Amino acid sequence: MIRMKNREYIDIYLKETAEIIEKLDREAIAKAVSVLRQVKKEEGRLFILGVGGSAANASHAVNDFRKIGGIETYAPTDNVSELTARTNDEGWETTFVEWLKTSRLCEKDALMVFSVGGGSETTSLNIVNALKLGQERGTKIISIVSRDGGYSGQVSDACILVPVVSQERITPHAEGWQGVIWHLIVNALGAVQ
Give DSSP secondary structure letters for 16-80: HHHHHHHHS-HHHHHHHHHHHHHHHHTT-EEEEE--THHHHHHHHHHHHHHHTT--EEE-GGG-H
Mean pLDDT, each 10-residue run in order, the chain (193 residues): 80 97 98 98 98 97 97 97 96 97 98 97 96 98 98 98 97 98 94 61
Domain span including residue 129: 6-191
pLDDT at position 145 is: 98
Q: What distances in angstroms separate CA 164 from CA 77, 90, 167, one per listed residue?
A: 27, 35, 7
Please indicate, yes or no, if residue 74 is contained in any of the structural domains: yes
pLDDT at position 190 is: 77
| Cβ pair 51, 127 in contact under 8 A | yes
Please indicate, yes or no, if residue 59 is contained in any of the structural domains: yes
Strand order in the sheet with 72-74: 72-74, 45-49, 110-114, 140-145, 158-161
Whether the full predicted model's pTM is greater than 0.85, yes or no, is yes
What does the alpha-carbon distance between residue 130 and residue 128 come to, in Å, rounded to a whole number? 5
Please indicate, yes or no, if residue 114 is contained in any of the structural domains: yes
Please indicate, yes or no, if residue 1 is contained in any of the structural domains: no
Kindly report the CATH number assigned to the domain that includes residue 90: 3.40.50.10490
Please indicate, yes or no, if residue 10 is contained in any of the structural domains: yes
Please indicate, yes or no, if residue 141 is contained in any of the structural domains: yes
The continuous run of DSSP H or E covering 159 comes out as: strand 158-161
Nearest to 158 by CA among 108, 192, 95, 113: 113
Please indicate, yes or no, if residue 82 is contained in any of the structural domains: yes
What does the alpha-carbon distance between residue 136 and residue 151 come to, in Å, rounded to a whole number? 15
pLDDT at position 40 is: 97
Q: Is 82 helix (H, G, I), strand (E, B) or coil?
A: helix
Split into its structural domains, the chain has a count of: 1
